[in-house]
Amino acid sequence: MNRRNFLKTAALAALATAATSRLNFAMAQGTGSIFTLAYPTSFPDLDPATSFSNDGAVLANVYESLTRYIPATEQAEAKIEPLLASAWEVSTDGKTWTFTLRDGVKFHDGTPLTSEAVKGSIERTKKIGGGASFIWGPVTSIETPEPLKVVFVLSEPQPLDLIASAGFAAWIYAPSSHDKDSAWFNAGNDAGTGAFKISRYEPGQRAVLDRAEGYWGKVPEGAFQTVSFEIVEDTTLAQNMIESGQADWTYSLPYENLEALKSNPDLNVVVNPSFETLFGLFNVKRAPLDKIKVRQALSLAFPYDDVIAAGTSGFGTRAKGVVPAGIWGHDAEAPIPKTDLEAAKALLAEEGIQPGLELVMTYSSAQALEAVAGELWKANLETLGITLTLQPMAWEAQWQLGKSNPEAAQDIFVMFWWPTFVTPYDYLFNLFHSEEKPNFNLGYYSNPEVDAKIDEAAKLSGTNRARAEALFIEAQRKVIEDAAAVFMLDQPNVHIIRTDIKGYTDNPAYGHVTLVNELSR
């Protein structure tokens, strides 16, 4: 009995071909006024208060927040657009924010959008305290002087216009749902103001949205009546669906297949920077990585271009330090190192590092790109007489080890980072601000000068964004100068969409969200 089980499992492993969920797309259609998304992951939580995962793709079409972030492009600077709020202002101390709500907006249950609804939504989100609700942490009270005017009082200066544009926990929902629990939302009910309402939800299979009556926003001609999210975990199947027209949109296909897809006239391969950036945090508490020159040498030995070529088929981009392109505070001129093994060798010699040094790099076993980066880096380091041990771990275990004791932890901690809402503070504070107990600063970097700049910039980001940006950039330069981490690459955002779809733009501030209202065929 044991042997048969082993054989079964192992045969699975040995053959391990894809083709599992072929039954999944019984209802996938690609024509008429249905927009079909082949989505690679399921939607674990449809409660707008606690959702903090891929569910955002569905909820962003159903709910709206007060503001929306539009990232910088080559032509235009980043900006914050009015959404449910039509205008807002901030007091000079940066602690009182007044939002004027858009008139004539109705929730899907027919009730109008009011300041009470905004207050009730945010208070429910804060009270449940799940997901990304921490973004409202600085808010001490919400006042509703007029039906269309809502005032936030903060405990410290914070950029609330940015916070209100967050991809999670910033949604406003109808008062009738404020006393409902998560189960009610997860049964497929919704209470949003968005262009679509949830009409059918089959967990793990699909979510189907239908157009809501009387949407306040502009609806383009030929807009879609129905949105169908088909959950297709198998990338081969997803590729089949998009090629055959059974799906209109998908992502997460292997980079290696994209060249072929690009030459298909029916498909548009949309490549944008994402806000996901890959780091290797050096353990500055442990010899010999406590020496700047050793860390610089390791950074110089990293094969930046090879990892982009091999790991992302050339679609990725060099990380310019901490904050990726498209976010304010990005430093396009950052003095990042180039791969230079000779210079690395010289630096190691200066510090008297003998061949035979052994370092341990931990990374998440679920991230193939991290493994590629590790293997190529290891090959380079070998030529310098350094042995890099690649230690793949379950993310939880990797994180626990990192948080435990810096003296006994890894030498290099590799992870992706992306922000909850679009601010350089999220990257710099979490990864490089001194921490008494390590949480995400898993290189244990601590520099009072950098701390001061980050803190000051955070205070100014609500009132004087230009000055704040300058300070964030100064802090980043210092972090790069200290070689606190190796900045491996910025992950590309690649979405595939049928060419007959009009009006598509990707917004990396909202990971893998497609706002279907703006699209037409």
Partner 1 sequence: MKRLVHRLGWPGTIALAIILLFVLVAILAPWIAPYPTQGAGAPNVAAKLSQPSANYWLGTDHLGRDILSRIIYGTRISLTNGVLIVAFSLLIGLPVGLAAGYFGGWVDEALMRGTDVFLAFPALLLAVLMAAALGPGFLNSIIAVAVTWWPWYARLARAEVLVLRGQPYVEAARLAGVSHQRIIIRHILPATGRPLTVQAALDVGPALLTAAALSFLGLGVLPPTADWGQMVDAGRKFFPARWWYSAMPGMTIFIIALAFSVLGDALRERKGGPARDAA
Binding site for partner 1 (CB under 8 A): 2-3, 5-7, 9-18, 235-236, 254, 256-257, 260, 306, 309-310, 365, 368, 371-372, 374-376, 378-379, 389-394, 397
Residue nearer to partner 1 on the CB measure, 364 or 441? 364
Residue nearer to partner 1 on the CB measure, 5 or 75? 5
β-pairing verdict for 196-202 and 357-364: unpaired
Residue nearer to partner 1 on the CB measure, 15 or 76? 15
Q: How many angstroms separate the CA atoms of 419 and 276, rounded?
A: 8
Q: Give the CA distances from residue 361 to residues 255, 312, 488, in Å, rounded to whole numbers and listed in that order.
A: 25, 21, 14
Residue nearer to partner 1 on the CB measure, 349 or 379? 379
| Residue 260 Cβ vs partner 1, minimum distance, rounded to whole Å | 8
Residue nearer to partner 1 on the CB measure, 397 or 501? 397
- Secondary structure letter of residue 517 according to DSSP: G
Residue position matching structure tokens 């982009």 = 308
| Residue 491 Cβ vs partner 1, minimum distance, rounded to whole Å | 16
Listed residue (411, 391, 434, 380) closest to 485, CA to CA? 411
| Residue 295 Cβ vs partner 1, minimum distance, rounded to whole Å | 23
Residue position matching structure tokens 């208060």 = 49
Amino acid identity of 341? L
Q: How many angstroms separate the CA atoms of 508 and 162, rounded?
A: 15
Residue nearer to partner 1 on the CB measure, 17 or 263? 17
Residue nearer to partner 1 on the CB measure, 357 or 372? 372
Q: How many angstroms separate the CA atoms of 470 and 479, rounded?
A: 14
For helices 465-481 and 448-460, give the axis angle rounded to 10 degrees. Answer: 160
Q: How many angstroms separate the CA atoms of 435 and 425, rounded?
A: 15
| Residue 284 Cβ vs partner 1, minimum distance, rounded to whole Å | 24
Listed residue (56, 63, 67, 53) closest to 159, CA to CA? 67
| Residue 18 Cβ vs partner 1, minimum distance, rounded to whole Å | 6
Tokens of 172: 């406003």
| Residue 492 Cβ vs partner 1, minimum distance, rounded to whole Å | 16
446-470 as b/e, with b when 16 or more CB fall inside 10 Å? bbeebbebbebbbbbbbbebeebbe
| Residue 12 Cβ vs partner 1, minimum distance, rounded to whole Å | 8
